[in-house]
């Protein structure tokens, strides 16, 4: 098996999505390397908020589940090229404040030795005034 095949596959990206939809942090974190990073779609910098290290990524994902307790990633599709992958999805859920969220987005994934070393998330900005 070549590193590119081991590092990223559509099967792996679908399995990660399944773990997200199950809200199973332990299963999700099994896919991540110790030195991983996660760029959240919102934050103080042009790349959003960057979380570095497995513990920080886990904490950030836990806050996502707390903020959108019924979050679901549907209508997904995935593709890979070498050690890089992309997942597109429709995120739906209800915020802790009762507001419904329905937004298209994508994740850019980078793998090393079969583990996620970088997840970069993007969401469309839904503006009902536009």
Report whether 87 contacts 9 (CB < 8 A): no
Structural class in CATH, domain 3-123 = alpha beta
Mean pLDDT of 76-95: 97
Q: Is a pLDDT exceeding 50 seen at residue 2?
A: no
What ranges do the domains of the chain cover?
Answer: 3-123
Closest-CA residue to 55 (of 32, 24, 84): 32
Mean pLDDT, rounded, of the chain: 93
Residues of the chain with pLDDT > 70, as a percent, come to 94
Distance, in Å, from the CA atom of 65 to the CA atom of 25, rounded to the nearest integer, reads: 9
Distance, in Å, from the CA atom of 67 to the CA atom of 70, rounded to the nearest integer, reads: 9
Instruction: Give 51-81 pLDDT, tens digit per residue.
Output: 999 999 999 999 999 999 999 999 999 999 9
More confident residue, 3 or 68: 68
Q: Residue 126: what pLDDT?
A: 81
In this prediction the pTM is 0.90
Q: Is a pLDDT exceeding 80 seen at residue 33?
A: yes
Closest-CA residue to 93 (of 61, 51, 64, 57): 64
Q: Residue 7: what pLDDT?
A: 62
């Amino acid at each position: 098996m070549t590193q590119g095949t081991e590092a990223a596959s559509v099967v792996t990206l679908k399995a990660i999505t399944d773990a997200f939809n199950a809200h199973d942090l332990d299963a999700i974190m099994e896919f991540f390397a110790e030195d991983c990073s996660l760029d959240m779609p919102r934050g103080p910098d042009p790349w959003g908020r960057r979380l570095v290290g497995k513990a920080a990524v886990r904490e950030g994902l836990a806050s996502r589940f707390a903020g959108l307790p019924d979050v679901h990633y549907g209508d997904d599709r995935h593709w890979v090229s070498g050690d890089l992958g992309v997942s597109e999805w429709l995120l739906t859920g209800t915020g802790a404040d009762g507001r419904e969220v329905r937004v298209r987005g994508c994740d850019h994934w980078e793998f090393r030795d079969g583990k996620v070393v970088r997840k970069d998330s993007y969401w469309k900005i839904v503006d009902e005034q536009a």
